[in-house]
Amino acid sequence: MPDYQLENIHLAFVEDLLPIGMAIFDRAKKGGAGKVIEGFTASNDPIKTLRAEGSFPAKLVRDKLDKIRPGLGNPVVEVKVDINPEDLVSEDSDDTLSETLKRIRDRLDLIDSHSDDSIDLNL
For the chain, the domain total comes to 2
Residue 107 has pLDDT above 80, yes or no: yes
How many other C-beta atoms are found inside a 10 Å radius of the C-beta of residue 90? 8
Please list the helix, strand and coil fractions of the chain in percent, rounded to the nearest 5, in that order: 65, 0, 35
Distance CA(39)–CA(66), nearest Å, equals 29
pLDDT the model gives residue 89: 60
Q: Phi, psi at residue 39, to the nearest 5°?
A: -60, -30
Residue at 84 is within a domain: no
Q: pTM (2 decimals)?
A: 0.54
Q: Domain residues for 107? A: 92-123
| pLDDT tens figures, 55-81 | 999 888 888 888 888 877 877 667 788
Kindly report the average pLDDT of the chain as a whole number: 80
Q: State what percent of residues in the chain have pLDDT above 90.
A: 7
The dihedral sign for the CA sequence 41, 44, 48, 52: negative
Q: Judge whether 41 lies within some domain.
A: yes
Residues 7 and 64 reside in one and the same domain: yes
Domain membership of residue 74 (yes or no) is no
